[in-house]
Amino acid sequence: MLQTDETSLRQRKKNELRERLVAVTVELVGERGLDGFTVDEIAARAGVGRATFFRYFESLNAAIVVGFYEQRLRAMVALVHEAPAALGPVDTLGWMFDRMVALHHQEQAAVLRQFLLLQSSKTLQAIALQHQATVHEEVLAEALLPRFGRLRKDDLRPRILVSATLAAIRSMADIWAQGGGRMDLQKMMRQVIRQLKEGFGAD
């Protein structure tokens, strides 16, 4: 029992340190932009050494991407679990994204700045796409599993649905950002989900 408690305490401290590194990274991006700080400065502000930073992140860019996406991913998963039980998989994603937009309505200017920052760096774009294609897809697909009923282990529908939805959301975000964030984001999001649900067959 004691060993379990000690292990749990160590893991909690690791998680707290990782979150502190992420928070400091996001703070510095906001203060100085993408190229205005170093790993050493992140480590110093977080109160750790440079080597500690690299135990959690393989690069500065990886920490930036995690900082932009991880908190939102946790919120997305929580909302998937909170969605009304009667909703199917596509409607659950629609319900979740609808509430994400509503919850972060006051932060849309900050979201736009973050998105444009990511778009300004091909390296960050590549890392962000990889993060979405692995972490986001896997975590959201797992959260959606109960919405599909009984599935075989080799059933790809949860992963395909999440992958298609995230790809559509990325395209929508590009259009929204190109318009300077002036378009109705919630309306655009609902249109994406409706189109995914209806399919792309000819009328």
Structural domains of the chain in order of their starting residue, each with its CATH number: 1-57 (1.10.10.60), 59-203 (1.10.357.10)
Could you count the other beta carbons within 10 Å of the beta carbon of residue 67?
21
pLDDT value for 60:
92
> What's the whole-number mean pLDDT along residues 83-87?
95
Please give the share of the chain, as a percent, with pLDDT higher than 90: 53
pLDDT tens figures, 146-192: 999 888 888 999 999 999 999 999 999 999 998 998 999 999 999 99
Contacts by residues 191-198 (CB-CB < 8 Å, ≥ 24 positions apart): 192/165, 192/168, 193/90, 193/91, 193/93, 193/94, 193/97, 193/98, 193/165, 194/94, 195/168, 196/90, 196/164, 196/165, 196/168, 197/90, 197/91, 197/94
Q: What is the mean pLDDT of the chain?
A: 88
- The pLDDT of residue 2 is above 90: no
| Residue 97 banded pLDDT, cuts 50, 70, 90 | very high
| Residue 5 banded pLDDT, cuts 50, 70, 90 | low
Q: What is the pTM of this model?
A: 0.79
- The pLDDT of residue 35 is above 90: no
Please give the share of the chain, as a percent, with pLDDT higher than 70: 95
pLDDT value for 202:
43
| Residue 3 banded pLDDT, cuts 50, 70, 90 | low
**Which of left, alpha, beta for 195 (phi over 0: left; psi -120 to 50: alpha)?**
alpha
- The pLDDT of residue 92 is above 70: yes
Structure tokens at 65: 């991407």
| Residue 6 banded pLDDT, cuts 50, 70, 90 | low
